[in-house]
Amino acid sequence: MTEQNTRAGILLMVATTFIFAVQDGISRHLASEYNVLMVVMVRYWFFAAFVIAVAGRRAGGIRAAAATSIPWIQAFRGVLLVAEICVMVLAFTLLGLVESHAVFTCYPLLVAALSGPVLGERVGWRRWAAIAVGFVGVIIILEPGFGVFQPEAVVPLIAALMFALYGLLTRYAGIRDSAATSFFWTGTTGMVAMTAVGIWFWEPMSAPDWAWMATLCVTGALGHYTLIKCYELAEASAVQPFAYLQLAFASVLGISLFGETIRPNVAAGAALIVAAGLFTLWRERWARA
C-alpha cells in the first residue's frame, strides 16, 4: 500500500463516518414519527436493490455473487445485521444520538473480547486490560449506581454486542467467501427478513418524510460504497481508528438538531472507550507487524 492510497483511504473513512452519522440523524427523526420496523424495511429495499445492481456489474453476475459454501452463516449474518440496525435505531429514539453512540463505540472491544471464544484467536493480557478499561467507560456512561438505573441505556449495548458478533461472523465468512458474496448476502437476506416483519407495521408517510426516507436510502448506499472503496485503497488497521469520528459527528448532529446534551459522565466514559479501542487497534497492528 502506498502512502497516497493510505491517505485516500483515511479521507474516505472520514467521509463514510460523516455519511453514516447523517444517516443516523435521519433515522432518529423518522423512527420518532413512524414505526422503527417500517423505516428499516424501506431502507433495506433500496439497499438490496443497490447490492443486486453492484453484483450484476461484477464478473459472473448475480450467480457468482450468491455462490457460497456457508449459506446458513451468510444468511444469519444478514439477519443479525438488520436486527442490530433496528435495535440501534430504537436506541436513538430512547436515548438520542449522543448517548447511543457513546455506548455503541465499545463494539471493537467486544470484537476483541469475543474473537477468542468465537474464532479461536489469542487475546493477550494487554488487550484484555484495554477491554476492561473500555467497559469501565461503559459503566461510567450507564451510571448503574446513581439513582434509578434506566433499562433503556442497555439497548445500544445490546446493539454493540450484535454488531460485534456480526463483525466476527463476517471475518469467519471472509475466509471462505469473497467480500462481494458477503455483501450480496447481507443486503438480500436482510431485505427478505425485514420485509417479512416490517410489512405488518406499514404506516402512511407524509411527503416531506418520504423525501427524508429517500435521502436515508441514498446515504445508506453511498456510505457502504465509500466504505468498500476505503478498504480497497488502504489496510483496515490504518483507517479503522478514524471510524471513531462517527461518535463526534453524531454528537454534533444530536446537539445542534435535536437539542441533546453531553453529560460529563458520558464524555468521560466515551473518552475511556475510545482510548481503549485505539490501544486495541494499535496492539493488533503491532502483532501483525
In the 8-state DSSP scheme, what is residue 234? S
Q: Name the residue range of residue 185's domain.
A: 3-288
Amino acid in the structure at residue 77: R
| Interval 154-163 mean pLDDT | 92
Q: What is the pLDDT of residue 144?
A: 59
Statement: residue 234 has pLDDT above 80: no
Q: For 118-147, how does the pLDDT look when each residue is reduced to its tens digit (9 = 90+)?
A: 777 777 777 788 888 888 888 888 775 554
* pLDDT, greater one: 149 or 16: 16
Q: What is the pLDDT of residue 282?
A: 77
Q: What is the pLDDT of residue 287?
A: 65
Residue with cell 445500544: 156
Contact (CB, 8 A) for 27 and 39 = yes
Domain total for the chain? 1
- Whole-number average pLDDT of the chain: 87
Q: For 177-187, how does the pLDDT look when each residue is reduced to its tens digit (9 = 90+)?
A: 888 898 899 99
Q: What are the C-alpha distances in Å from 33 to residues 26, 28, 200? A: 11, 9, 17
Q: For 74-90, how does the pLDDT look when each residue is reduced to its tens digit (9 = 90+)?
A: 999 999 999 999 999 99
pLDDT classification of 148: cutoffs 50, 70, 90: very low
Q: For 183-216, how does the pLDDT look when each residue is reduced to its tens digit (9 = 90+)?
A: 899 999 999 999 999 999 999 999 999 999 999 9
Contact (CB, 8 A) for 34 and 205 = yes
Amino acid in the structure at residue 40: V
Contact (CB, 8 A) for 280 and 131 = yes
| Interval 165-170 mean pLDDT | 89
pTM recorded for the entire structure = 0.87
pLDDT-wise least confident of 11-20, 77-86, 107-116: 107-116
* Alpha-carbon dihedral sign for residues 152, 156, 162, 165: negative
